[in-house]
Chain A
C-alpha cells in the first residue's frame, strides 16, 4: 500500500478537511491549500499528516473544539486556527490530542482561542514552533495555551505563547522537556506545573505574566538558563516553588520581579549560577525549607536579597556575589574576608508584622538595618555567606 497525497482547497473536489480525512487512508498526507475553512470538531482518527500550504485558515466560528486527534503518528503542520468556542462546561481546545503517541504539532498559529493545544494522556510527541496568541481578559472564561495532562515524554520546543490564562500548564506529566519557549503577557502563570516529575526546562523566557511561574508538588525538576522578567505586581513572582524536592536551578536570570523566587516547603534544591537583578525580594523563604544550597549566584540591586521567616537555618549560602556587600579582601583572593548577612532586619520585621512595610525606604529602617548587620540579634546567626565574592561572577 502506498501513501497517497490529498489536496484540499476551497475550490477543489475536496473542499472540506473533515470529509477528506474520512476518505483518506492511514499514513496519507493532506495538503491544505491557502484559504478559509469554516469547520470545527475535525476528528483525526487515523495516522495522517495534515500540512497547510501558505497558512490556510481553519475557522471554528466559535462553535466548539477544532481538531481532535485520537490516533497515533499524527502530524499537524502549518495551519492557522482561529475562533475556538468558549464554553463553561467543556475545555474546548484548538487542538486536542487524546491518548496518542508519536504525534507532532508544529508551525501552527492559533488565535482567538479558548484552550490552545491540549494533550491528554498522550506521550512521545513533539510540540514545536507554534505561535499561540490569546486575548484573555478574565481568568474564568479563558483557557491555557499549551496544556499537558497525564502526558509523558513530550518535547515542547520553541513555542511562543501570549495572552492566555496559563501559558504552559503541566499536570501529572513526567519526563517532559520544555525548551526555548517564550511565554509572556499571560493572565495568570507563564508556566504552571503540578505533580509532574523528572521534567527539564531550559532556555525559556517568561515575561510580564500576571503571577509569573508556579512550580508545585513536583520532584527532580531541572531548570536551566531560563529568564524570568518583569513579573511585577502585588501577587506576582518570578518563580513560585511549593513542595519541590531535589531540583536543580542553574544559570537562570531573574530580573525585575516583585519576588524573584518564592520558596515554600522545598528541600534539597541546588541554586547555582543564577542572576537576581533588580527584584523587590530576590529570594523569599517561607517555612520548612531544608538542605538547600545557594552557590555562585549574583544578587544585584534587589530591595531585599533574602527574606526569611524563621530563626532556624539549614540552608547553605556560599560564594555568591552580593551587590550590597561592603566588606574587604585583604589577601586579594577574590573572596571577602568578612561574612555577608543577606537577611536585613527590616525583612525580618516585615515578615513578623506585614504592616511595617510602610516604613520602606525610611531613614530609621536604614539605621537599624545597619546596626543589625554589625551585630545580628534577630536574624539567624548562621545565615550568612562566609565566602562572598568580591566581583560579579560573569
Chain B
C-alpha cells in the first residue's frame, strides 16, 4: 500500500494540477494578507473560501483521478497486490497531495506575514485542520462514487450533486425546518443538524473561534457552551474523523466486491 501511496503521491505532486492548486492558495493567501494586512481578519475571509472550495476541489479531483488512472489501476489489479491496498494507496495519495498543497499554499504567506507572532495562530491551525479533514472526507466520498459508477458522466454528476447537497441544499433544508418549526425549542436540533454536515460543522467550529461569534447571540451562546468545552471539541473532531473513516470503509467494501 505504501508503495502505491508513494507512487500516486509523487505522480500527483509532479502533475500540473497540484501546482495550480498550490499556486492558487499561495496567491489567495498573499492577496488576502496584502489587502488586509491583518492576520485574524484574513482568517475570516479565508474561511468562506475554504468551506466552499475545498470540498468542491476534493470532490472533482477525486473523481477525476479515479477515472483517469483507471487503466493503471487495472494493470495493478493484475499484479499480486491486495485490492484494498491499491485503492487505499491511491486515496491517500490524492488526499495527501491536496492537503499538502493546501497547507503549504496557505501556510507560506501566513508565516511570512508574521503568523507566529500573532495570536491568530490557533485559529489558523484550526482552519488548516478542518481544511485537511474536508479534503479527506470529500476525496473519500468521491472515490466511493467513482468506484460505484462505471459511467464517467454519471459519476461526475453524482459527485457534484453530493457537493451541492452538502454545501448548499442541506443548509436550505436546515433553514426551512428552522422556520417551519420556529414555535418549538430549536437549540438541540440546530446543534445536531450542524454536527451532521461536515461543512456546517467546520464553519461553526471556525466561526466560534473568531470575534464574529458574538453575532450569533443566544444560539451562539448555546453552541459555544457545547463546542467551547473540551468534550464538545473532541466530539466535533470525532465526528469529522468518522466522516473521513466512513468513505474509506465504503471504498474498501466496494473495492473488495467489484468485478473489474
What residues of B have a CB within 8 angstroms of the CB of A362 in the complex? 51, 171, 200, 203
Q: What are the interface flags for A344-385 relative to B under an 8 Å C-beta threshold, 1 for contact and 0 otherwise?
A: 000001001111111111111101000000000000000000
Flag whether B211 is at the interface (Cβ < 8 A): yes
A361 touches B171 (CB 8 A): no
A358's contact among B48, B169, B212, B216, by CB below 8 Å, is which?
B216
What residues of A have a CB within 8 angstroms of the CB of B128 in the complex? none
Identify which of residues 187-236 in chain A touch chain B, using a CB-to-CB cut-off of 8 Å.
Answer: 232-234, 236
A360's contact among B179, B207, B218, by CB below 8 Å, is which?
B207
A258 touches B214 (CB 8 A): yes
Bound together, the chains give a CA A236 to CA B52 distance in angstroms of 31
What residues of B have a CB within 8 angstroms of the CB of A367 in the complex? 168
What residues of A have a CB within 8 angstroms of the CB of B200 in the complex? 358, 362
A354 touches B52 (CB 8 A): no
Flag whether B47 is at the interface (Cβ < 8 A): yes
Tell me how far the C-beta of A89 lies from the nearest C-beta in chain B, rounded to whole angstroms.
34
Identify which of residues 275-297 in chain A touch chain B, using a CB-to-CB cut-off of 8 Å.
Answer: 280-281
B190 touches A358 (CB 8 A): yes
Tell me how far the C-beta of A86 lies from the nearest C-beta in chain B, rounded to whole angstroms.
31
A364's contact among B175, B187, B194, B217, by CB below 8 Å, is which?
B175
Flag whether A303 is at the interface (Cβ < 8 A): yes
What residues of A have a CB within 8 angstroms of the CB of B250 in the complex? none
Bound together, the chains give a CA A361 to CA B200 distance in angstroms of 10
What residues of A have a CB within 8 angstroms of the CB of B219 in the complex? 354-355, 357-358
Which residue of chain A lies nearest to B217 when distances are taken between CB atoms in the complex? Answer: A234
Tell me how far the C-beta of B82 lies from the nearest C-beta in chain A, rounded to whole angstroms.
40
A363 touches B220 (CB 8 A): no
A363's contact among B168, B194, B215, B221, by CB below 8 Å, is which?
B168
Flag whether B232 is at the interface (Cβ < 8 A): no
What residues of B have a CB within 8 angstroms of the CB of A352 in the complex? 179, 182
B178's contact among A356, A361, A363, by CB below 8 Å, is which?
A356
Q: What are the interface flags for B51-70 relative to A under an 8 Å C-beta threshold, 1 for contact and 0 otherwise?
A: 11000000000000000000
Given contacts A352-B182, A353-B178, A364-B175, contact A280 B212 (CB under 8 A): yes
Flag whether B22 is at the interface (Cβ < 8 A): no
Tell me how far the C-beta of B193 lies from the nearest C-beta in chain A, rounded to whole angstroms.
8
What residues of A have a CB within 8 angstroms of the CB of B175 in the complex? 349, 356, 359, 364-365
What residues of B have a CB within 8 angstroms of the CB of A281 in the complex? 215
What residues of A have a CB within 8 angstroms of the CB of B51 in the complex? 362-363
B211's contact among A232, A349, A353, A358, by CB below 8 Å, is which?
A232
Which residue of chain B lies nearest to A257 when distances are taken between CB atoms in the complex? Answer: B214
Most chain A CB atoms below 10 A, which of B52, B172, B221: B172
What residues of B have a CB within 8 angstroms of the CB of A234 in the complex? 214, 216-218, 220-221
B214 touches A363 (CB 8 A): no
Bound together, the chains give a CA A359 to CA B194 distance in angstroms of 9
A365 touches B171 (CB 8 A): yes
Tell me how far the C-beta of A279 lies from the nearest C-beta in chain B, rounded to whole angstroms.
10
What residues of B have a CB within 8 angstroms of the CB of A360 in the complex? 207, 212, 215-216
Which residue of chain A lies nearest to B204 when distances are taken between CB atoms in the complex? Answer: A358
Tell me how far the C-beta of B91 lies from the nearest C-beta in chain A, rounded to whole angstroms.
26
Which residue of chain B lies nearest to A236 when distances are taken between CB atoms in the complex? Answer: B214
Which residue of chain A lies nearest to B182 when distances are taken between CB atoms in the complex? Answer: A353
What residues of A have a CB within 8 angstroms of the CB of B52 in the complex? 363
Which residue of chain A lies nearest to B173 when distances are taken between CB atoms in the complex? Answer: A364
Flag whether B21 is at the interface (Cβ < 8 A): no
Tell me how far the C-beta of A283 lies from the nearest C-beta in chain B, rounded to whole angstroms.
14
Flag whether B186 is at the interface (Cβ < 8 A): yes
What residues of B have a CB within 8 angstroms of the CB of A358 in the complex? 190, 194, 200, 204, 216, 219-220, 223
A359 touches B217 (CB 8 A): no
What residues of A have a CB within 8 angstroms of the CB of B215 in the complex? 258, 280-281, 303, 357, 360
Bound together, the chains give a CA A359 to CA B175 distance in angstroms of 8
Flag whether B174 is at the interface (Cβ < 8 A): yes
What residues of B have a CB within 8 angstroms of the CB of A236 in the complex? 214
Given contacts A349-B175, A355-B187, contact A232 B182 (CB under 8 A): no
What residues of B have a CB within 8 angstroms of the CB of A233 in the complex? 214
B216's contact among A232, A357, A363, A365, by CB below 8 Å, is which?
A357
Identify which of residues 240-256 in chain A touch chain B, using a CB-to-CB cut-off of 8 Å.
Answer: none
Flag whether B39 is at the interface (Cβ < 8 A): no
Tell me how far the C-beta of A388 lies from the nearest C-beta in chain B, rounded to whole angstroms.
23
| Contacts A258-B215, A355-B219, A356-B175 supplied; 19 other A-B pairs, CB < 8 Å | A234-B217, A258-B214, A280-B215, A352-B182, A354-B219, A355-B186, A356-B179, A357-B215, A358-B200, A358-B219, A361-B48, A361-B203, A362-B51, A362-B171, A362-B200, A363-B52, A364-B172, A364-B175, A367-B168
Pick 16 A–B contacts, CB within 8 A, sort by A: A232-B211, A303-B212, A349-B175, A352-B182, A356-B175, A357-B217, A358-B223, A360-B212, A361-B47, A361-B212, A363-B51, A363-B168, A364-B168, A364-B169, A364-B175, A365-B175
Residues in B lying within 8 Å of A, measured CB to CB: 47-48, 51-52, 167-169, 171-172, 174-175, 178-179, 182, 186-187, 190, 194, 200, 203-204, 207, 211-212, 214-221, 223
Residues in A lying within 8 Å of B, measured CB to CB: 232-234, 236, 258, 280-281, 303, 349, 352-365, 367
